[in-house]
Amino acid sequence: MTRGIGRRSFIRIGAGAALGVAAARRAPAAPNDPLRVAFIGVGGRGTTDLNQAMNAGGIEVVAICDITPENLKRALDLVEKKTGKRPEGIGDYPYAYRQLLTRKDIDAVVIATPCYWHEVMYADALAAGKPFYGEKPLAITAKGVKALQEAAKNTPKVVVQIGFQWGAHPARRNIIEKVRQGLIGELLDGRFRRLNGWDNHGNWYTRRAESGDWMLEQAVHEFNLMWMVTQAHPKSCVAVGRSGIIPGRDTTNYYTAILEYEGALKNLVLHYSHGWIEVPGFKKNSFEAEFVGTRGAVDIMAATATLRQKDASGKTQVTGEGGEGDTAEHFANFFECVRNGTPEKAYCGIANGVGATMIGLLIRTSLEQKRPVTLDEALADTRTVPVPPV
């Protein structure tokens, strides 16, 4: 049974309340007219998103915001070279992006800023009624995730897509739906891992207060897959890991977590290992996303399942139906939802962001407190993000 984000009432709070603007939307674009899109944050991932969004087609990039001059110029040059039109560029102060949220001539925004800005900018976009594609994670604090879920309840018509591009893979979505319909029976064991090479990231990635730590900055991709299958928050978590092995950062270098569920998932024990210490060439398979059930097992990323007994067609192998998909297809889905006003058809909306973020918060809380923790204990965390004053 799907669990709410917590047993207590949500705290109705959020940076978006400070924006205080009416819905900033123009009439829907005509079928053959391009959507007018603005981009907020065009560093490494933001530039990738800019390219992929243009590859998806059907849009005009009308404005770009970035407070780093070289990032802004690079992105403006890229769009001009590709389309022949140079967008408007802004970024003279940290909250300059709010100018774009209140403009009625902008149909949607794409946000790809450092993690500690997400919950602030996403709340602002919801408060402005502006559809947005926001990079993962949804938030890096319990306060932020609760505020965004509450804000989304109050703005149900705003299209939101969180940047979990693995969810744009049709065959993967199909095999997940088959699992939810009972293909592999009752879920018993979850086996997930991501083993990265030695961590050499710099800047805000190295600071837990800004990145949220790796279980929120990176691992939420896997946690979204867990959410898509279970549609439930874990009841508890115990995690063990180490930091301080790799110098120049306070993030966790490697950890292993065990998540437990309740209700219909009471027998599911989900294991997750994640780290930045892998030796190149040592492991042939450094990534795993699998569930084992009473009737079979599924490899989520490969979109295939193996059954314990032959099905009605005499097969033990089941493959998800549909083609492939990644970032460009994720953008295409978002743009279609904006054009048609169908937020419920977004591949990975607010619910996905909440589900994935809550797993990350549970794991981080257990690591920090060095003990098993419950969902409510993770939600009780009161930290805030280190954004500058307005």
Going from N- to C-terminal start, the domains of the chain cover 15-165+328-349, 167-322
Contacts of 102 by beta carbon, 8 Å cutoff, 6+ apart: 19, 21, 24, 128
**Into which CATH architecture does domain 167-322 fall?**
2-Layer Sandwich (3.30)
Structure tokens at 196: 């990265």
Q: What is the DSSP string of 247-270?
A: SS--SEEEEEEEEE--GGGTT-EE
- Taking CA atoms, 36 is separated from 80, 81, 349, in Å, by 15, 18, 21
Q: Which residues of 130-152 are buried (b: 16+ CB within 10 A; e: fewer)?
A: bbbbbbbbbbbbbbbbbbbbbbb
Closest by alpha carbon to 190, among 272, 264, 261?
272
**Torsion angle of alpha carbons 41, 43, 44, 49, nearest 10°?**
30
Contacts of 381 by beta carbon, 8 Å cutoff, 6+ apart: 141, 142, 143, 361, 365
* Upstream peptide bond of 137 is cis (omega within 30 degrees of 0): yes
C-alpha to C-alpha distance for 51 and 270, rounded to whole angstroms = 36
Q: How much is the pLDDT for 281?
A: 87
Tell me yes or no: is domain 15-165+328-349 CATH 3.40.50.10490: no
Q: How much is the pLDDT for 326?
A: 97
Q: How much is the pLDDT for 283?
A: 80
Structure tokens at 84: 């022949």
Q: How much is the pLDDT for 284?
A: 80
Q: How much is the pLDDT for 29?
A: 64
Q: How much is the pLDDT for 2?
A: 34
pLDDT averages per 10-residue partition of the chain, 390 residues:
34 38 56 92 98 96 98 98 97 97 97 98 98 98 98 97 98 98 98 97 98 98 98 98 97 98 98 96 90 98 98 95 96 98 98 98 98 98 97
Read off the pTM: 0.92
